[in-house]
Amino acid sequence: MPDEVVPEAPIPEPAPIEAPIPSPEPIPEPIQPEIPPEPPTAHIPANEPIAPTPEPLPQATTSVVVPVLNFARDLAVKARAVIQGRKRKKLDKILEAVTKHGSITNDQVEKLLHVSDATATRYLTQLEKEGKLKQEGKTGKSVKYKKNMNSKTLLLTALPLFVLHGIEEYFLKFYLVDPAFGFIGAMANMAPVNVFLIEQALLVLLLLITIYKPNKVLTLIVGFIFILEILHVIFAIASHEYAGLLTSIPLIAVGILYWESILFVRN
């Protein structure tokens, strides 16, 4: 058998190689400035109405309120002063009537000032608390009010009496009669007359301090000085040495009233 001829496979022709097409160069985009993002806003539904912004309430300024308060306070103070001044004039009128007639009753105050019974009682009570009047009697028409000699008034009365008493004792040489001056003078190496003058100066100073700056201790010391005047009178009568006796008598009377005022009457 003859050999079969095998046909050769066709050799493919090489495809033509195309030249690569150059890619176009990218065109640079223009640089834009960065815009900051807007803050997020609350989403308001389309159907919901926007609430109106409330207007601020007017506030009272301090520059207006303070002058008004000061004016009101000054007005109240002035009104109170006027009321107190009128009341004091009425109280002084009561005291003038007591000085003129010696005493006064509640009914007389009502007629004098044209006030009610309660107001008259209130005025008299105030004068009694101030120590300017004292009540005599307890109830009814027997109650009267008289001028009260308080301790300060009595000391103002006693001061010139003590000065006159010292002058009388000086000229009558009481410092030579009373052995206390001689004893103190011997202890202090001083003449009795000098001891006497120092004692009188200290006495006047003590009275002045007690009148204008009173306290319990000074009040009692002055009270004991009045007691010494009583002993002075007893000594003068017993020894028949009457130096200073004339002015001692009114001093003793003032001393009795003084002790009554500090023991029984409000000062």
**pLDDT tens-digit readout, 80-98:** 888 888 888 888 888 888 8
- Average pLDDT taken over every residue of the chain: 78
Share of the chain above pLDDT 90, in %: 14
- Which residue did the predictor score with more confidence, 266 or 203? 203
pLDDT at 165 over 50: yes
- Which residue did the predictor score with more confidence, 55 or 73? 73
Residue 267: predicted pLDDT: 44
Residue 47: predicted pLDDT: 55
Taken in order 191, 197, 203, 208, the sign of the CA dihedral is: negative
C-alpha to C-alpha distance for 101 and 85, rounded to whole angstroms: 25
User: Which pLDDT band, with edges at 50, 70 and 90, does 57 fall under?
Assistant: low
Compute and round to an integer the Cα radius of gyration of the chain: 57
pLDDT at 157 over 50: yes
Residue 266: predicted pLDDT: 46
Domain locations along the chain? 66-147, 151-264
Q: Are strands 144-147 and 133-136 parallel, antiparallel or unpaired?
A: antiparallel
Share of the chain above pLDDT 70, in %: 73
The model's pTM = 0.51
Q: What confidence tens digit (pLDDT) does each residue in 99-138 have?
A: 888 888 888 898 888 889 889 889 888 888 877 787 887 7
Q: Is 166 in contact with 200 (CB distance < 8 Å)?
A: yes
CB atoms within 10 A of CB 185: 17
Residue 79: predicted pLDDT: 83
Residue 224: predicted pLDDT: 92
Residue 233: predicted pLDDT: 80
Residue 38: predicted pLDDT: 58
Q: What are phi and psi of 45, to 5 degrees?
A: -60, 150
Q: What confidence tens digit (pLDDT) does each residue in 237-261 have?
A: 887 777 778 888 888 888 888 888 7
pLDDT at 58 over 90: no
Q: Which tokens hold the place of 121? A: 């009682």
Q: What confidence tens digit (pLDDT) does each residue in 30-46 have?
A: 555 556 555 555 554 55
Residue 206: predicted pLDDT: 93
Can you tell me which residue has the tokens 């050799």? Answer: 11
CATH topology of domain 66-147: Arc Repressor Mutant, subunit A (1.10.10)
Using CB atoms within 10 Å of the CB of residue 218, give its burial: 0 to 12 exposed, 13 to 18 middle, 19+ buried: middle
Q: What confidence tens digit (pLDDT) does each residue in 194-236 have?
A: 999 999 999 999 999 998 888 888 889 999 999 988 887 887 7
